[in-house]
Amino acid sequence: MSAGLDLVVVEGVGASQRELATFIDATVWVQSDFAAAEKRGIARDLAQGVNGDPEETVAFWHEWMAEELRFLDRQRPWERACMVVAGTPPIPLEKDQLAIAPGPL
C-alpha cells in the first residue's frame, strides 16, 4: 500500500485474483451479461479510437474475451466478493439505483 493513503482502489477483474487476496481488504464483483458487456466494450473502444478499425476492434474484443473467460473460469472472483452489484440487472431500476447483494463470503 502507498504510504500515507487511507484508501487505494484497484479496478479490474484481475485485481481480485486469489494470489492477491492477502493484500485486499474488500472486493466488489459487478455482474454483467456477456452480450451487453461486449456491445458496450466494442462501442467504447470505437468511440475512443482504440484497437483499430471496427473489424480490428471486434477481433481484439473476441481475443481479449477468450482470455478473460479462461481467467474467470480459473479464478471465480465473484466467489470471494464482499458485495455483488448487478451491472446489467434483469430487474427494472430507476436511473440512479443499483441492485446490490452481499457476496458469498
Read off the C-alpha cell for 27: 472486493
pLDDT along the chain (105 residues), means of 10: 76 88 88 90 95 95 94 92 85 82 71
Q: Domain ranges in the chain? A: 13-102
> The whole model's pTM is what?
0.76
Question: Can you read off the three cell numbers belonging to residue 61?
Answer: 474484443
Q: How high is the pLDDT of residue 44? A: 94
| Whole-angstrom distance, CA of residue 26 vs CA of residue 50 | 31
Angstrom distance (rounded) from CA 58 to CA 76: 25
Q: What integer pLDDT is reported at residue 87 of this predicted model?
A: 83
- What's residue 67's pLDDT? 94
Task: Report pLDDT for 1.
Answer: 52
Amino acid identity for residue 60 in this structure: F
- Three-state SS at 84: strand
- Using alpha carbons only, give the angle 64, 66, 69 rounded to the nearest 5 degrees: 110
The pLDDT of residue 105 is 58
